[in-house]
Structure formats: C-alpha cells, structure tokens
Structure 1
Amino acid sequence: MQGDHNVRISYWKAWRSRQIALDFAKGSSGASFNLIPDYLKQLVQANPGTKTALHTEFEDGVGQRFKYLFISIGACIVGYRYLRKVVIVDGSHLRGKYAGCLLSACAQDGNYQVYPLANAIVDGENDKAWEWFLENLLEVVPQSEDLVFVSDCHSSIYYAIAKVYPLARHCACVLHLQRNIKTHFKNKHLGYMVGKAARAYKRYNIMTSNVAESWNAVLREAREFPIKPLVEFIRDKLMQWFSTRRATTCISFDTLTPRVAEIVAANFDLGGWIWRDKSVFGKVRVESLVSHFYTLENLLVAYDMDILPVTDSAPPPVPLEIHTDDVVTDANVELIPPTTRRPPGRPTKSRILSRGEIRMKPHRKKHICSRCKASGHNKATCKMPI
C-alpha cells in the first residue's frame, strides 16, 4: 500500500483486508460449509463411482455441526487397480478461518508420478480422525496382505492402520527415522546407519513420505481457501493431471513407461550388458523382466477415465448420508461450521514438522571479498591496503 498508494497501514489491517478480499473472491468461510451437501451430490453425479462421506455432530440449539469430510474421485478409484499397492498417507494443517487438517492418501503410478487417491478434512491429526479416514479409505483401497502403507512417525497413523488395516504392512519414512535418531541420540552417524540399514533390503523404491508431501505442496495455496473452493481446487487439479498425463502417454510408442525405460537403459549401460533388439543376450525380452505395473498399457488405463467439472444445475437425487453420532439424516440439512478456530498470530506458511523432525538449515554461500579473496567482508570494508 505504501509503495503503490503512499498509504501507511498496519500489518493486521493489511491482513484483514486480504481476508475480506479472499472472502469476496472465494465466498464466506462459514457459509461455505452449508454448500457442501449439494456440492457432493453434484460431484457424485458428474463423476460416477466417486466415494464421499460427511460426518457431523448434533448440538442442541444449534443443529448439525461439521466434523469430517471424505472424498475420493471415481477415476482415481478405478485407476488404482493398475498401480502398485503402496499407499502413502500424510496430514497437513489448513490455514483458513476454521483451521483443521487435510489428510491425504496417495499412490505412485508406473511413471513415478504422484497419484492422489483420497482426501479428508478433519479437525486435527488425532486417533479418531485418522481411524475415520482409513475406514472410508477401505472402500477405495481394499485390505490385502500385499498392501503397504508408508507414513511419517505420527502415533495416530500407527494406531489407525493397526486397527483398520491389520493385514497390511506399515513402513516408516526413512527420513523421519533418521531425524528422530539425530534428535534423540545427538549422533549424525547413527542416522546415516539407519538410512543404510533401511535401504539394505529394498522391497519398494518408495522409502519416504515425499509422495504425499508433494501433493500437500501442490495444495499449499488452496489450504487457506473455504472448504468448498478447497475441494473444488482438488477436483480441478486432478482433472488437469489426468488430461495432461493421458495425452502425454499416448505419444510414446514404447512398451515401458518413459521413466522406467530410461532406468532400464541406464542399468544396461552401467552393467555393460548386450542390448540387442531390446533383449538380454538376444533371448529374453527386457519387458518380461519388468513388473506389469511399469508398462505403458497400465499407465494408460490408470488415466483412462475423465474427471468432469461440477455443474451448477440442480442435481437429481443422489444417495448421500450424513453420519451423526446417533442417527443418519438426510443430506438436505443446514451445516454449521466446526468449533475449531485458527490460533491467533501470523499464520505460518511453512510446513509444521512432525514429532521428532528437525528443520534442516539452508546452506548459505559465504561471501568472498574480490580484493583479498577472504570471507566475511566485501571490497568496501576490506582492510587490505590498496
């Protein structure tokens, strides 16, 4: 304001003005909750197979108060059948007026790209919220002994996976394990040994929760939106990804996905093998040595379905239940915002670290004096005689 209009205002006045502008552009944060039931109807109607769940709490004299929301787009559910059964789960804090957390479950496609499966908006990363999220995820990701979860070291995730997915395996992020070791034992060498031990027997190439954290980074700006624009942002981003990746994949004429084909070629060069007509020693085809999850055919099918936008026309009656503590009511009910509020103070833009995780300090390049070639000062303050 001072630079453009020569008007001095306080930081908080500027912040409140920004919030008013955001409400004008995206809608009121409180009123947005009341739009969710109709939006979910339209979303299911436009994208068949989509799974949604809305959990509320009844409060005397107030009505149905929002508690949890779960969404998984139908195209993602179908596409997951053609991906490896490794699911990365993570949570990130919302920065809107009513705070809360965004829980996510992601997979990785055969071209090593992030493949979001489901999202939920809850009151926080606690045992009940994670358990509710995974119970709804069961309809998207069936329980299996071949299923593997990867997450950070949050205790609520450990509790929920053990209760909802007792047959699945659960792996902790290697980076979080290393940071925990460094924090508790004050020994960097032990953290290095933990990383080496974790990679000694490599079941999958997914050793960290970076896949889910990358998806959270994509939603960084939208995490301060009201709830309906946030959900619509997720749907729109997935629609763009599916369209772009499907068009890009159709260009390739190889049997393997582009990324895997590069890795296979690099391994052949590194090992000094004879690669003639894409076969090993002219006998065994290379494609037969690679899992079918990495084939171009599987990648195309994973993105085969379209994700369509939500129309503003009145939707036909679609079955949608709102689960409360005692009863199941019709979706045509007025929703009250949750009781959670954003804590006072300036909202943080950086990711809140998990328990035991430490923030790595960025490497700062030392300034070198152009006159004496020493660090710590510049040419103007150099004491070297001219």
Structure 2
Amino acid sequence: MDDEDEQQNEVLIGGSDGYDSVVDEEPLTARERVRTCTAKLLQITNQLQIANQLQREAAEGKLGCEADRGVGQRFSSRDAFRDAVSKYAILQGRNLTYDISNTKVNQRLGVKCVEGCAFYLYGAWESRRATFVVKNMQLEHTCHKNMKRNRQLKSKWVAKQILKVSKNRPHWPAKEIVETIKRAFKVVVQRGFAYKVKYASHKMLHGSMHDHYAKVGGYIAALKASSPGSCVELVTVTKLNKQPAPPPVFQRLFTCFEGLKKGWVDGCRKVICVDGCFLKTFLGGKLLSAVGRDGNEQMYPIAWAVAEGKNNLSWEWFFEQLKNNLGLGDGEGVCIISDEHMAILNGVTNVLPKAEHRHYARHIYALWHKTYKGDELKLMFWKIAKSYNMADYKENLETLEKLDPDATNAFTAYNPRLFCRAFLDTTVKSDVITSNMAVTFNGYIINTRTKHLIYMLEEIRASLIQRLVLKRMEMHKCSSFLCPNIQKRLEKEKNKAAYCDVMPSSETLFNVSYQLDSLVGLADPGKNRIKDPYENPSKPGHLTRTGMEITCNNCQLKGHNKRRCGNPTSFASEPLTKKQATAAQPQPQHPPTEAEAQSHQ
C-alpha cells in the first residue's frame, strides 16, 4: 500500500476531514447528518481525483520533468530549462535555488539544493547549436524531502496545472486548493497562497482588467440591440487635466430590463426594497439593487447598478434612474423600504419626497438587541412592531414598559412610525416592514458577486431569465384562483375566522367578537342588482305576467279571458272537465236503513 492509499484510508476512517468532524453546534436531524457527510465525502473524492490526475501527468512526463536525463540534455530556451527545474524540484520535494544566474555570459544557470546537500546542476547557452544545454549535474541528494518550504512552487506554476479545474469550478474554495496541493505535490501551503493561485488562474482565463472593461461598451450595445426598451446607463470619469487625455475610467452602470420594468408596473404593488452589497473581487465596489414583491409574495428584482460605493451621489443617481424608468414622479403612492443608511435617506428625500419611507424592522431590532437581550424582550419587540392597530400597539408597549422601562425608551427613540405596522399608510396595501426581499436577492447572487463586471451582469441576467420561466410554469400548473402563497395565507385566516362571531349592526357596520376582544368595523355595502321593471319583488328571480297578451280558452280570441268571454255557445259546446262531469252524474239510490225508517215514522 503506497502513501496515497494510506492517506485515503486515514481520511475515510476519521480525522479532521472525516465523519468525526463537528458540522454545527446545533443538533442536526438524521437526514441533515447524512447530507453533510455525503457532501464532505464528495469533496474529499474530488480532491483525491484532482491530486491523482496531477500525479499521473507527472509520472507520464506530461509536466516536462526531464532534468534527470543526463549531461548534454537540450532545451529550447533558458526559460524552458528553468521550468523543467521547477517541476523537478516540486515533484521530488526538494527546495532548490539558483546560485548562478548570468544573462550576459551565455545565459548561465546554476542550481543547488539546501546547504550540505551534494546536488548540483549547471546549464548554459550554446550559440553553435542555438540551444540551452546541461553542462554538469550531480543528482544524488544527501538531504531530506521538504514539505513546508519549496521556493520553486510558484502560484503561476500551480495555476497552469489546475487551469482546467479552475475553468470548470470558478468558485473553487481556497481551503480545497490547499488540500489538493498538499496531496498532489506533498507541499503544505497557506490559504493566502491559494488566493494567489486563484487570481493567477483567473487572469490566464479572462485576461487583464483593462481588456475586460474595454468590452463594456460592446456589451451594452448588444443588450440594447436585443432589447431596445431596456435601460443600460454607463457613467465614466475622464481626467481632462492630463495630456494626452487618458482613457475614461468606469464609475457606475445601471441596468433595468424592459420585461422586469413592465412586470412591476402592471402586476406588482408599489413597494420597492433597496439595499447594497459588496462585490467580492479585488477591485471592490458595491451592487445597488431595487427589489419588489410579486403576486405570490416572492422577490421580484426590478433594477440593479454597479457603483463605486454607497454614498450620497451614487444613491441619488440610482433613485433618479429608478424614477425615470418606472415613472415614479415625486413618489406619491410608492413605498420605499431600506435600512437607516444616511445616503439612502438623503436620496429618497431629494428624489422621491412624497414616497412613504419605511425602515427595516430587522435592522432596528439588531441594533436594539445589542443592549436589550433575552427571548422575552425579543417577543415583545416583534409584537409591538407587528401590531395592526393602535390599541394593540399601546397595550404591547405598556407590557414592555412593565418588563423594562429602559428598553421601552430605546424602542420609541427609533421612531416607531417608520417600522411599526400600526402607523403604516394603507394606500400601498402592503404590510411589509422587513428586508426579506432585498436580503433574498443579495443571497441569490452571492456566488455571482465573485466575478468581474461583464461575467457578473451576464450571470444575473441568465439566472433571472431562468427564474421567471420556472415561476411562470409553476403558475400554469396552479389550479387555484389565487397564487399558492396567498391561498395558504387565506386558509390560515379562514381557520382563525371560525372562532369569530359576527353581528350586523347596520348594512355596513358589523361587530366582530373573538373570545374577549370585540371590534366594530365597516363592511363594503356593495351594489344592488338592477331589477327588471316587471320583476316581482315578493318573488325575486321570477318575472310577472304584466304586459303579456292573453288568449281566451272559450273562443280562442286574444284580448280577454274566459270569464269575460261574450260567446256562450262556444262555452256550451266546450267539453266538461273531469270535476264538472263527476258533479253532474246522478247519485245512486240505496234502500233506507232501520234507523232511517224509524226516524221518518
């Protein structure tokens, strides 16, 4: 059994990467444990496969490790010789260094191992043969293999070896890269080295950032050609004080597709959650997003923008773009939901002064919870925030004051009118006070944010297209009149309504009692149906015979009935009815009884 098999057995039996590792502090169900162990086993299997592949390539000579073939070996160039030395040092686990490096005299290179080791390698350029030749070599080592330090293990060299893997796995975690290098090359590296490897492989695959951002103009032109109604607005900065003038520098990019804009205007409530998140590249920047709620109470991305940061200028520019594309006007009838970032507050005030601006209750609770902890206080916070009327709001606030007066003062200091349901404007017809939609979108694109501009925007576009198609297919399969989530919510409300007693007070006023609580409210009186002028009010739904022309059953003439008929002959010739015939028949004669005979006497 070789070392690699022993390592595999160690991993599968136990250890830091096996089944004995702690996955989470909270208790997990059996199904979650199975899923976690399966995921770890697949991760270990992938690492072993990659490491074995690299070792097979080294054994087959695909890595070009030919430095041990003897004196006189030729190389096409000095760099090819250096590359062969690097691969030899890495695969053999030797910390080799260059003690001679002279580019002026025959491009000489001398290689040695650690101090006290007999290994030596010397090569130079031969002008007569136009090739780089190994002149002298001593390949026997008197030192031990080194797994912690190898100066020839460069990030660019490793990036070349794992380039195919990096192309298939652009989000390859640094922890797995460290483990793969350890298994394949027997060298222990730090996580920082793994990030350098990821950067080098990314640069090999996608080129430099100057070339990348030079393609932004073409990308915008392609989007506008395929969707003329979409808005893609680019903002650049040019330094005019320099001569010659440098190329423009990217600053912001706003994107709002025509389909998303039309869907929000026609089919969504006028609620917009805005938020910003970090871009996880070495260039930095922020992604500003505006997310609505669709008919199924799920996220509906409206627009997003890449900006230099979350400042007053960027947010005000973002709200201006939203206002122009969605036709928001001065914000009347629109609700903006955000955190308490001052740049967002200033942007909404300047661009949409008449919009209702709500604050994330979850964000306020996070600040309030830093000082006032405990499950009981947490429960009271959300009871107050989710109270639908002033009576419940005041009652819950008084309960909180009895528990902790300081917590009550801190709660009211955050201006409850901005995050409590009891103070919301009913024009928008939405009781949203949390940041669920914006946070959901940020989590939805968390892996996408690790890519550079064009790749990130294209992946967001493709993922949203796929999401909209799936949602449309789900709604086609839905058999209920309402959306699935709304139907579930309605069924819950029906179960609660079964415990309510409703007593009408007038046509539009009703008294609703639930246990010890009573509520008097107005109901929609509706409109009565327009009745037919000949409809009988005592028999709704049945028409009277008013206006109909009658026919006489005696003379068969129109305009009168049988009672008022003046033609008796027709009446006499008419056959008798069954009742009349029975009455006209003579009664049969019976002999008198003894009682009748005595009564006559």
TM-score bracket, normalised by the shorter chain, equals 0.5 to 0.7
What residue in structure 2 maps to residue 126 of structure 1? 311
Counterpart pick for 1:92 among 266, 272, 277? 277
Higher mean C-alpha deviation, range 41-50 or range 124-133 = 41-50
Aligned partner of 1:11 in structure 2 is 191
- Which residue of the partner structure matches residue 441 of structure 2? 215
Partner of 1:152: 339
Deviations 1:180-238 (A, max 9, x none): 2234x556676655433322233523211121111111111111211110110111111
Residue matched to 1:247: 473
Cα distance 1:213–1:25, how it changes in 2: closer, same or farther (>3 A)?
farther
1:42 matched to 2:229 = no
Q: Provide the secondary structure at the position in 2 that maps to 1:119.
A: strand
Aligned to 1:161: 348
Corresponding residue number in structure 1 for 2:462: 236
SS at match of 1:96: coil
Report the equivalent of 1:108: 293
Considering only CA atoms, is the larger Rg found in Structure 1 or Structure 2?
2
Structure 2 stretches of 5 or more lacking a match? 1-180, 389-420, 425-429, 501-522, 524-601
Instruction: Summarize deviations over 1:89-109 as a string: whole Å, max 9, x none.
Output: 000011112101000000010
TM alignment of 1:252-267, pairs within 5 A = 252-267=478-493
Question: Counterpart of 1:66 in 2: which secondary structure?
Answer: strand
Q: Is the 8 A contact 1:153 1:172 kept in 2?
A: yes
Show the counterpart of 2:182: 2
| Residue 231 of structure 2: aligned partner | 51
Q: Is the 8 A contact 1:100 1:122 kept in 2?
A: yes
Q: 2:451 aligns with which of 215, 225, 231?
A: 225
Amino acid at match of 1:213: V
CA contact (8 A) 1:177 1:194 kept: no
Instruction: Call closer, same or farther: CA 1:25–1:273 in 2, change over 3 Å.
Output: farther
2:357 to 159, 164, 170: 170
Compared CA separation, residues 35 and 132, structure 1 to 2 (3 A): same
1:75 to 259, 270, 295: 259
State how 1:20-35 maps to structure 2 within 5 Å.
20-35=200-215
Distance in 2 between the 1:177 and 1:146 partners? 24
Deviation at 1:7, TM superposition (A): 2.8
Amino acid paired to 2:193: K
Contact 1:219/1:234 (CA < 8 Å) preserved in 2? yes
Which letter maps to 1:127? N
- Number of residues paired by the alignment? 274
Q: Secondary structure at the match of 1:200?
A: coil
Normalising by structure 2, we get a TM-score of: 0.43
**For the structure 1 residues 242 and 230, does the alpha-carbon distance in structure 2 shift closer, same or farther, using more than 3 Å as the test?**
same
In the superposition, relative to structure 1, how do residues 207 and 25 fare at CA in structure 2: closer, same or farther (>3 Å)? farther
Alignment correspondent of 2:86: none
Amino acid aligned to 1:165:
L
TM-score w.r.t. length of structure 1 = 0.67
Q: Which amino acid aligns with 1:32?
A: H
Aligned amino acid, residue 488 of structure 2: E
Distance 1:250 1:36 in 2: 38
Residue identity in the other structure for 1:95: K
Q: What's the offset of the Cα at 1:28?
A: 3.5
In structure 2, the residue matched to 1:272 is 498
SS at match of 1:63: coil
Deviations 1:262-310 (A, max 9, x none): 1112221232289xxxxxxxxxxxxxx9xxxxxxxxxxxxxxxxxxxxx
Query: How far apart are the structure 1 equivalents of 2:474 and 2:275?
Result: 28
Higher relative contact order (CA closer than 8 Å, sequence separation 6+): 1
Give the letter aligned to residue 267 of structure 1: E
* Post-superposition offset of 1:247: 1.3
- Identify if the C-alpha distance between structure 1 residues 139 and 104 changes in structure 2 by more than 3 Å, giving closer, same or farther: same
In the alignment, the residues of structure 2 paired with residue 121 and residue 9 of structure 1 have an alpha-carbon distance, to the nearest angstrom, of 35
Cα displacement (A) at 1:9: 2.8
| Contact preservation (8 Å) 1:178, 1:192 | no
Instruction: Give, as a single letter, the amino acid of the residue that structure 2 aligns with 1:63.
Output: P
| Cα distance in 1 for residues equivalent to 2:233 and 2:248 | 15
Structure 1 runs of 4+ with >4 Å offset: 185-194
Residues 253-262 or 193-202, more deviating: 193-202
Is the CA contact 1:111–1:260 (under 8 Å) kept in the aligned structure 2?
yes
CA contact (8 A) 1:150 1:171 kept: yes
Give per-residue Cα distances to partners, 1:141-173, cap 9 Å, x unaligned.
313321001111111100101111111010000
CA separation of 1:218 and 1:22: change in aligned 2, threshold 3 A: farther
Between the aligned partners of 1:212 and 1:259, the Cα distance in structure 2 is: 19
Q: Which runs of 5+ in 1 are unaligned?
A: 275-288, 290-386
Taking the aligned partners of 2:203 and 2:487, their CA distance within structure 1 comes to: 47
Query: Which of the pair is proportionally richer in helix?
Result: 2
| Distance in 1 separating the partners of 2:248 and 2:367 | 41
**Aligned-partner residue type, residue 159 of structure 1:** N
Q: 1: distance between equivalents of 2:349 and 2:381?
A: 24
Q: SS state of the match for residue 481, structure 2?
A: coil
Distance 1:209 1:26 in 2: 35
The 1:262/1:186 distance shift into structure 2, 3 A limit, reads closer
Q: CA RMSD in A?
A: 2.1
